[in-house]
Structure formats: C-alpha cells, structure tokens
C-alpha cells in the first residue's frame, strides 16, 4: 500500500518537495494549492537570486546556512534538467568605505565555514574591470561567482510539470481549511473541495504556514510579512552584468541592482515589517519605492529616467519567529511536517529543502522510500518564438502556422507559444483561465507596453481554448475578470 502525502502549498517549496517525492514508488503525492495556478504566493515576487550561501550565520540560522549552499549546488543541476531560464553571473558585495571590509571579511569567513567555494575579495581595479559603471565610490568587493538568477515562477511551473509527469496529483483552487488529526496522527486535510486523505501532511504554505500549523494544534511560531518593493526598467537600458549588493547591515542584505534573467534592469528590495494579519498587502507604496530608488542610486548612480520604468511590484517575505527555517516532523502530531518560515533564501534553498523533507520522512516517520524504476528527471520548456532563428520559425510553422503569428510584440511571443502555454496549464490542472498564467509561461504582456497591445488577444485565445466568454477570462483568478459583460450588457441591464 502506498503512503499518501498531502503537500499544502504549490510555491517553490511545495513544488520542489512534490518533485523529489515523485521519485518514490511507494508514495502517492498530492499537491494542494488555493490559488488558480502554481507559484503565485511568495514565490511570485522576489529578487530571483540563487544566493551564494555566505551570509547566513550557521550558529544562529543553521537550517538556512546548510540548505542555502546545498540548494545553490542543486539548482545548477535542476535548471538544466528542467529547462528553467537562468543565468550564472556571480555577485559583487560592494564596499564603499574602509569599514565595509571588516564586514566583507566576516562574510568571507562565514562563507568558508558554510562550504561556499571560490569566493574572494577583489580590489578597486579588478572591481571596475568586472563592473565598469559602478559608483565611483566603490573601493573593493567580495566576489561570489556561484551566485545566479532564475525565473522563479517559471521554475515552480517547470518543477510542477515534471512532478505531474511523474505521477503527482495537483489540486488547484483548493484551500485547506482544516487538518484532521486522530489519536495524535494526521488523517488528511479538509478543503473547500472536500476531504483529502493523507498519512503525511507537509505544511509548505508560505505566509500562511502558521495558520496551517495551528490547524494541527501547533502554535509555537508565528509568521509576519516583511514587504520588499521593486522597480523594473525597460529592456535595452544599461545594467550591471553581475548582481550588485551593498555591504550588508545587521538588518538587511540591502538593495540589489541587477539585470534580471529577461534582460531588464531591476532594483530592490527594501524591507518593511507588516503586522501578521496583513499577508495579502502586495501594494506598492511611494515611500517604499523612493527608499529603493535612493538605495540603488548609491551603487548605480546612472539610473534611467522614471519614464523608462515598465513596472513596480512588491513581495512579502514570510518571517518566522526565531528567523530560521522551521523544517521538521512535529512530534506531537504524527505525520505532520512543517516547512515553515521559508523566508529568504528560500528560493535558493528549495531543492535542498525538498531533499531534507525526503530525509525526514525516511528518518523520522520511518517510511522506507523505494525508488521508481523509471523516473523522468527531464522536462521540456515550451516553444518561444523569441528564441527561434528564422529557419526555426519555418520549421515550426510547418507544424502549426500559429508559431509564425506574433501576439506580444514587445517580447516576440507567438500565438503558438500561447497555445502551448494553455496546453501546459491544463496539464497541471489550471481550471480558471487567466492572463497571468499565460504571462508567466510565455513572457507576453511583460514588455515595454505592459500588455496594452496583446492582452486582448490573449484574452480571446484563453476564451476560445477554455470555452468561456471573453469577459469572464481573468487577469489572475476569480474576482479579477477582464470585463463586466459584452458591450451591450449594461444597456440591457444585465451586468
């Protein structure tokens, strides 16, 4: 008989756990997510860095220190197996005053302790060779070549697709409302879509991990949101080649200046603590954005004019009591595993978190894991017109003419790309058609015009493929419908 596993939350943590557990013959894995698609929680809005693992103090935050560097190493493999957009461009932690070197020395020391390879201090001359447009105030830096960047939601999508291909069942738009515990053992989870039986429940609910834990009677920690805001600039504007950090202060890693995976200059985040109940407040604020602007200018004085901004956004870090990741089987409740407080560097650590959880299942819950004879580690990315040569386009249009038809002009996304994205959405069980689901798979709507040309076209494709009326297509799930009806709805009096 198979052991039934329910994973709550399809963020980077939950998805990674699902993928790792999909390897085992004797597990039946269910991935449960309240949002219409995967990766829309904390994993959606962050700096997208695969950190170097040098800044978490192993004494105070042992889990973070251990899993970050392991995660970094695993990502080097996962991005290849799963065709996740990535770049290994390294990071510079920049010193602007003599005192900063004390801090950089400390980081170097800590990095060595955590097992980070190939870090070193670079002097001013080498620094400007690596990054010519850096602030002239810079006097040296810590150089961490293993740092990289990925597409975080594309990563969650890729991992989930691979997990599903290996037998994981997804339950989207399914909110866990209770956890059934009998005689100190979990029996399953209650949801808005009925009861899901489980022998093991894994709580990977991001900002809500405290709420889920309380459903199982565990209340020793609380999660509060810490907001970070960002500016994203139009493509083609000069940005750094490396990830640039200021020398950290005791409270923050500081505001990063980077060219993100798609080639856009991005600055952020700041850090603002919100009360525990404000877990949905993803609004940007002028104060926060100004703070980011000022901070970024210190490293990168030639910020483009504000008219070159194409987007601002905010993310919420799930900050746990104590500050370290809480990853363990809870003794009071048999079969309940917390993967809670996965704050930064949670994205980096996710693959390592997943292996840690597999270890906990075997070691602490005593389930002997049996590997499948055939487990597929690979997943193919959808087609992208922007990656095709003209000859490639001609090959693709032989299969389907829609590959030659551009939908998003800023990012060169074809109708064929969009149709493939919709197919993949259906493959992992996305039920409510949304523009954001297409956006995260194709990059449509993320360019200079921010979707004003292509969004209507995408809405029509979604409406057709999902068989719904166009105004009922959503931007990002129920409650965010594109329109209120057909153009005559108000005059007829039915909207």
Partner 1 sequence: MFPGIPMLNYDVVVIGGGPAGMAAAARAKELGLNVLLLDENDYLGGILPQCIHPGFGLHYFREELTGPEFAARLAKRLVELGVEYRTAARVMEIRNYSDLEKVVIFTSPSGAYQAWAKAVIYAAGARERHAFEIGIVGDRVAGVYTAGEAQTLMDIYGVLPGKEIVIVGSGDVGLIMARRFALEGAKVKAVIELMPYPGGLARNVMILRDFDIPLYLSHKVVEVRGKGRVERVKVVKVDENLNEIPGSEFWIEADALIISAGLVPSVKKLTAIGVEIDPSTGGPVVNDRLETSVPGVFAAGNALLINDLVDYVAEQGELAAEGAKEFIENGGIESRKWIRVEKGENVRLLAPHRLSGERDVYLYLRVARPMEDVELRIPEVGKRVKLSLATPAEMLRVKLKAEEIRDAEKLTVEVVRE
The whole-angstrom separation of Cα 142 and Cα 479 is 47
Q: Which is nearer to ligand FAD, 317 or 439 (CB)?
A: 317
Q: Return the residue of 139, 165, 309, 468 that touches partner 1, per CB under 8 A.
A: 309
Q: What angle do CA 77, 110, 62 make, to 5 degrees?
A: 70
Choose among partner 1, ligand FAD, none what residue 412 binds, the Cβ cut-off being 5 to 8 Å by kind.
Answer: partner 1
The whole-angstrom separation of Cα 200 and Cα 314 is 34
Q: Which is nearer to partner 1, 465 or 481 (CB)?
A: 481
Q: Does 490 bind partner 1 (CB under 8 A)?
A: yes
In the range 434-493, which residues lie near ligand FAD by CB under 6 A? none
Using the rule CB under 8 A, give the single segment among 92-100, 171-179, 184-192, 449-457 that binds partner 1. 449-457
- Of 186, 192, 171, the C-alpha closest to 338 is 186
In the range 223-262, which residues lie near partner 1 by CB under 8 A? 236
Q: Return the residue of 5, 49, 385, 421 that touches partner 1, per CB under 8 A.
A: 385
Cis peptide before 340 (omega within 30 of 0): no
Give the sign of the dihedral formed by CA 7, CA 342, CA 33, CA 209: positive
DSSP E strand stretches across 43-168: 49-50, 86-87, 91-95, 120-123, 140-144, 148-150
Site for partner 1 (CB under 8 A): how many residues? 60
Kind and range of the H or E run holding 179: strand 176-182
The whole-angstrom separation of Cα 187 and Cα 195 is 10
Q: Return the residue of 5, 6, 8, 31 that touches ligand FAD, per CB under 6 A.
A: 8
Q: Return the residue of 33, 100, 131, 420 that touches ligand FAD, per CB under 6 A.
A: 33
State yes or no: is 51 an active-site residue. Answer: yes
Q: Which of 30, 51, 86, 171 is catalytic?
A: 51
Cβ(444)–Cβ(438) below 8 Å? yes
Two tokens at 381?
């990315």
Q: Which is nearer to partner 1, 428 or 482 (CB)?
A: 482
Two tokens at 330?
């809870």
- Residue in this structure with the two tokens 């449509």, named with its chain if needed: 444
Using the rule CB under 6 A, give the single segment among 34-42, 135-143, 354-362, 483-491 that binds ligand FAD. 34-42
Task: Mark 254-293 with x for binding to ligand FAD (rule: CB under 6 A) and - for no binding.
Answer: ---------------x------------------------
Give the sign of the dihedral formed by CA 20, CA 22, CA 27, CA 28: positive
Q: How far is the CB of 284 from partner 1 (least distance, A)?
A: 4
Estimate the crossing angle of helix 435-442 against helix 152-165, to 10 degrees: 100
Cβ(311)–Cβ(202) below 8 Å? no
Q: Write out the catalytic residue numbers.
A: 51
Residues in contact with partner 1 by the rule CB under 8 A? 236, 280, 282-286, 289, 306-307, 309-313, 385, 390-391, 393-394, 397, 401-402, 404-406, 409, 412, 414, 448-453, 455-456, 459-460, 470-471, 474-491, 495
């Amino acid at each position: 008989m198979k052991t039934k596993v329910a994973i709550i939350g399809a963020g980077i943590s939950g998805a990674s756990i699902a993928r790792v557990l999909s390897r085992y013959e004797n597990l039946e894995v269910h991935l449960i997510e309240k949002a219409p698609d995967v990766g829309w929680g904390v994993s959606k809005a962050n700096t997208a860095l695969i950190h170097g693992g040098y800044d978490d103090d192993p004494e105070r935050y042992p889990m973070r220190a251990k899993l970050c560097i392991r995660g970094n190493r695993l990502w080097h493999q996962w991005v290849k197996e799963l065709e996740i957009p990535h770049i290994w461009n390294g990071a510079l932690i920049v010193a602007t005053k003599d005192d900063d070197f004390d801090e950089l020395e400390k980081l170097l020391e800590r990095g060595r302790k955590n097992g980070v390879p190939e870090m070193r201090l670079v002097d001013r001359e080498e620094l400007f060779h690596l990054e010519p447009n850096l602030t002239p105030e810079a006097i040296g830096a810590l150089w961490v070549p293993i740092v990289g960047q990925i597409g975080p939601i594309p990563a969650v999508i890729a991992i989930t697709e691979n997990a599903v291909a290996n037998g994981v069942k997804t339950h989207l738009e399914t909110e866990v409302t209770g956890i059934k515990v009998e005689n100190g053992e979990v029996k399953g989870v209650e949801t808005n879509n009925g009861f899901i039986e489980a022998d093991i429940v894994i709580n990977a609910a991001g900002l809500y991990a405290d709420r889920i834990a309380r459903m199982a009677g565990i209340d020793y920690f609380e999660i509060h949101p810490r907001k970070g805001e960002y500016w994203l600039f139009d493509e083609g504007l000069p940005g750094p080649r490396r990830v640039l950090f200021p020398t950290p202060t005791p409270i923050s890693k500081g505001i990063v200046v980077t060219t993100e995976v798609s080639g856009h200059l991005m600055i952020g985040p700041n850090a603002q603590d919100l009360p525990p109940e404000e877990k949905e407040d993803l609004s940007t604020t002028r104060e926060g954005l100004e703070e980011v602007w000022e901070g970024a200018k210190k490293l990168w004085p030639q910020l483009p004019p504000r008219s070159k901004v194409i987007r601002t956004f905010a993310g919420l870090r799930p900050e746990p009591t104590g500050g370290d990741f809480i990853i363990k089987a809870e003794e009071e409740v048999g079969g309940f595993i917390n993967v809670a407080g996965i704050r930064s560097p949670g994205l980096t650590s996710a693959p390592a978190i997943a292996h840690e959880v597999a270890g906990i299942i075997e070691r602490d819950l005593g389930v002997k894991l049996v590997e499948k004879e055939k487990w597929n580690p690979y997943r193919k990315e959808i087609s992208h017109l922007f990656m095709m040569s003209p000859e490639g386009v001609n090959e693709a249009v032989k299969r389907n003419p829609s590959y030659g038809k551009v939908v998003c002009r800023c990012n060169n996304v074809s109708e064929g790309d969009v149709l493939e994205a919709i197919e993949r959405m259906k493959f992992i069980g996305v039920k409510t058609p949304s523009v954001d689901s297409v956006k995260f798979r194709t990059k449509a709507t993320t360019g200079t015009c921010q979707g004003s040309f292509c969004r209507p076209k995408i809405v029509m494709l979604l409406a057709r493929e999902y068989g719904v009326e166009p105004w009922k297509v959503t931007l990002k799930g129920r409650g965010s419908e594109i329109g209120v009806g057909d153009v005559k709805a108000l005059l007829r009096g039915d909207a």
